[in-house]
Structure 1
Amino acid sequence: MKFARRIIFTTVLAVVGVFFALPLTWLILAPFDGHPTMAVKWPRWTLSNFRRLLDNPYAMGSIRNSLIIALGTMAVVVVLGTLASYALSRVRIPGRDGLLYGMLLLSSIVTGTAAMVPTFQLMNAIGLINTHTGVILVLAGGLLPTVVFILKDFMDSVPKSYEESARLCGAGPGRILADVVIPVARPGIAFVAIWAVVQVWGNFLVPYLLLRDPGSQPAAVVMYTFYTESGQADLRLISVFALVFAVPVLLIYFFVNRRFGFRFYGGIKS
């Protein structure tokens, strides 16, 4: 009986593994196939798809736009999230925990789709339609509650004795934050930084809503336009662009994993 359960368990794991491996296999093989289809098959090796990608007037520029939006959003949420989480960790205010959970709950309920119309009207009123700044601010606003919630736990884990020692040496609040708190909480900051990039990198709705100029649209939006003259999805262009689109996030992951190893410490405290 135990042997039979082990066989069933191994079979289920194998099926699940194949289920997740098939899309990745297609992502790797299809860009090098002269005639890719939705099926996973051995390709007819060619590099013509990459030349076709370079000939597209918006493809490579959209990767640059995605980097601008992702890194800009990451910078905003890391700076503001670090300052807000440190303040909430050290200053005792009535209803602090309720405020944190309320922000987290509202950010989960009021999604981008639900706030689409007021977001567009607000950005139009302040003149940020068709600008990367407007997209960055909207995306950062949606991510900040979660970032503050996560970083506050890391700030709580920094011993206050470190700050007291620095204060005795004459350090001010800004110096303490920069030289004492941030180095200790650096793994948590690295985590929210890469998490913010991943969340923004594939975002479609907000850039599609706010950016009208094809030359300023990110890759997730430009990919939506890859169709042939007959109206069919251009799999040759989509497959190679999907591979190029995935490379920056993979590089960021391996860099952060090599630098920090994702061995983050901290836990949710009541």
Structure 2
Amino acid sequence: MNRKTKNRLEVLAIYFIIGIVAVLIFYPLVWTVGMSFNQGTSLYSSTLIPENFSLEHYRWLFSEDSDYLLWYKNSMIVSVANAIGSVVLTSLVAYAFSRYKFVGRKNGLYVFLLLQMFPVMMAMVALYIFLNMLGLLDTLTGLILIYLGGQIPFNAWLVKGYFDTIPRELDEAARIDGAGHLRVFWSVMLPLAKPILAVVALFNFMAPLFDFLLPTIVLSSEENYTLAVGLYNFINDQFANNFTRFAAGSMLIAVPIAAVYLFLQRYLISGLASGGTKG
């Protein structure tokens, strides 16, 4: 087998794998889109593209009979608060670990690394009791605090790696001009760290929208439900089979994520490429 034939076979193999992956990704998505426009409530349909195209499920979601808008608002509150809070907290923590030497710095980094191996669910019983003691159980505030605390180890390590790539000479030049610690952080580090902060903001904005387990444990009142928990009730009840409404509600979750992604996309590639280059 000559080299030219071998290269063609390798290219065909790559395209074959890409084709399989594309089918696995897009087929469920296309089926969900079609189901959201299909009349009735059944999960099953004879065709991928609905024969009887209808917007009745989307109209119902925005009607007075549905709590979908309330759940959407709750999810947006949690997602936005988590994104902003994570950027603020992790940038401060990462700046301290990147630029200062203090007792326990090295051990603290190791602790962050170890904590990434354990999911938040392992501490859910302790967190449940803690939120109950603080009176934050069944509140969006309690849920936000869990998200913020659980994301710090990974985010701080990621942002710290990016801060390490920023030359220290910039800090020293700013201090020569009379800038203090906060001024250096605000005027020098943050503008240069926009790419990695955009990555942190996007990831932490998306997480609450897709998470089901934590909101299920923390939230018990229907008026406090997030989208994942609320939509699950469409198909969870004993006689409920509102799969088409579930599909319609699921499709609308992509709207804010797409908007945030488009807004931050110019920073994302450089942020992902540079975040873990130096530790």
Q: In the TM superposition, what is the alpha-carbon distance from 1:262 to its structure 2 partner?
A: 2.4
Change (3 A) 1:12 1:240: same
Q: In the TM superposition, what is the alpha-carbon distance from 1:38 to its structure 2 partner?
A: 4.4
Change (3 A) 1:229 1:150: closer
CA RMSD of aligned residues (A): 2.1
**In the alignment, does 2:32 pair up with 1:24?**
no
Cα distance in structure 1, aligned partners of 2:235 and 2:33: 21
> Over residues 75-105 of structure 1, what are the superposed CA-to-partner deviations in whole Å (9 max), with x where a residue is unaligned?
2211111111000001123553442232232
Cα distance in structure 2, aligned partners of 1:6 and 1:156: 39
Cα distance in structure 1, aligned partners of 2:166 and 2:236: 56
Change (3 A) 1:86 1:4: closer
**In the alignment, does 2:182 pair up with 1:177?**
no
Q: In the TM superposition, what is the alpha-carbon distance from 1:6 to its structure 2 partner?
A: 4.8
What SS class does the counterpart of residue 121 from structure 2 fall into?
coil
Q: Could you say which residue in structure 2 is the equivalent of 1:65?
A: 74
Cα distance in structure 2, aligned partners of 1:268 and 1:192: 16
Gaps of 5+ in 1: none
Matches within 5 A, 1:43-62: 43=50, 44-55=52-63, 56-62=65-71
Matches within 5 A, 1:103-114: 103-109=112-118, 111-114=119-122
Cα distance in structure 2, aligned partners of 1:83 and 1:37: 47
Q: Which amino acid aligns with 1:22?
A: Y
**In the alignment, does 2:108 pair up with 1:99?**
yes
Paired residues, number: 268
2:156 to 148, 171, 177: 148
Partners of 1:228 and 1:234 within 8 A in 2: no
State the 4+ residue runs in structure 1 displaced beyond 6 angstroms: none
Q: Could you say which residue in structure 2 is the equivalent of 1:10?
A: 15
Cα distance in structure 2, aligned partners of 1:199 and 1:28: 22
Q: Could you say which residue in structure 1 is the equivalent of 2:43?
A: 37
Gaps of 5+ in 2: none
Partners of 2:61 and 2:67 within 8 A in 1: no
Change (3 A) 1:7 1:177: closer
Matches within 5 A, 1:200-239: 200-227=208-235, 231-239=239-247
Cα distance in structure 2, aligned partners of 1:249 and 1:126: 32
> Over residues 28-85 of structure 1, what are the superposed CA-to-partner deviations in whole Å (9 max), with x where a residue is unaligned?
3222111463456111211111122123431111111001001111122111111110
Q: In the TM superposition, what is the alpha-carbon distance from 1:263 to its structure 2 partner?
A: 2.4
> Over residues 227-260 of structure 1, what are the superposed CA-to-partner deviations in whole Å (9 max), with x where a residue is unaligned?
3976243112101001112211121111111x42
Cα distance in structure 2, aligned partners of 1:57 and 1:232: 14
What SS class does the counterpart of residue 137 from structure 2 fall into?
coil
**In the alignment, does 2:270 pair up with 1:260?**
no
Cα distance in structure 2, aligned partners of 1:102 and 1:38: 49
